[in-house]
Structure 1
Amino acid sequence: MTNTKKLLLTFSLFIFLTAFQTQEKEVFICTTKSSKTYHLKKECKGLKRCKSKIKKITKKKAENVGRILCKLEKKEIKTKEKS
């Protein structure tokens, strides 16, 4: 197999594998110890009350450490679903 064919095969495999990779949803959290929620929007009213740093992490990681979706955003989602 020629070098060109090897390179083309490697490149094709790379494209194939990255095309089907799922992107993880990023969310925002307040880094205080007492915070128990994550937020979908950085502009959320609940997140505006944060007195510490706001950090962007994956939704999966936030849920793995026990965070739940902010009540304000959960309510907003339910309202949109009813419309």
Structure 2
Amino acid sequence: MLAKLMGILDIAFALSLIFIKLDILLKLVVILSILVFFKALIFFSNIASIIDMVCILVVIVSIIFGANILLIVIFLWFLQKGLFSLFA
């Protein structure tokens, strides 16, 4: 059950990355970034959590300085990770 909730969080975060490009609802993106960051801190010994933390830093930089091409890779990373968690 907990893995499914974390999968939903990853999917919601991935979908919220679209808002950075559209420059809307950036507060929602920041809130979801914080939640995913805390989730990554809980499971810090896992390599996927370390990648999550790096992705969160890139997302925060993208919010400040504008969207970049890495957001597509981060979107795909969190979407596939969320789908695997949700349906595994």
Length-normalised TM-score, structure 1: 0.29
The answer to which structure has the higher strand fraction is 1
The answer to which structure has the higher helix fraction is 2
Length-normalised TM-score, structure 2: 0.28
